[in-house]
Amino acid sequence: AQSVTQPDIHITVSEGASLELRCNYSYGATPYLFWYVQSPGQGLQLLLKYFSGDTLVQGIKGFEAEFKRSQSSFNLRKPSVHWSDAAEYFCAVGAIQAGTALIFGKGTTLSVSS
């Protein structure tokens, strides 16, 4: 079955500390992978996407993610977290055959402590 797992429901990180959000997927076809961020009451903002090529992708707001096919993972990282990064983060997977029917993980809520 196709699925996306974000093992951490909630993470708290100190401001200035590094961040890694985990994402594992199960998908039959060659996947497209995405990370989105959602602030309360808002829509989803695309942070970065991976389709092919370099397995380390850079996104907006200083985020990056690394695709590891052997581990079926696409973890999101940021070297130094800012208080404004507090939000909910979603990993999603799709494929050419699926069109825009992405499968989303349940999300990880990030809190930033001062």
> Where does this chain bind other proteins (CB under 8 A)?
32, 34, 36, 41-46, 49, 51, 90, 92, 94, 96, 98-107
| Cβ-based nearer residue to other proteins, 54 or 101 | 101
CB 18, min distance to other proteins, A: 26
| Cβ-based nearer residue to other proteins, 28 or 99 | 99
> Looking at the DSSP assignment, which residues form a beta bridge with residue 68?
73
Q: Which amino acid is at 19?
A: L
Q: What are phi and psi of 43, to 5 degrees?
A: -80, -170
CA distance 30 to 93: 10
Which residues are CB-contacts of 46 (< 8 A; sequence separation ≥ 6)?
34, 35, 36, 59, 60
| Cβ-based nearer residue to other proteins, 77 or 104 | 104
CB 13, min distance to other proteins, A: 23
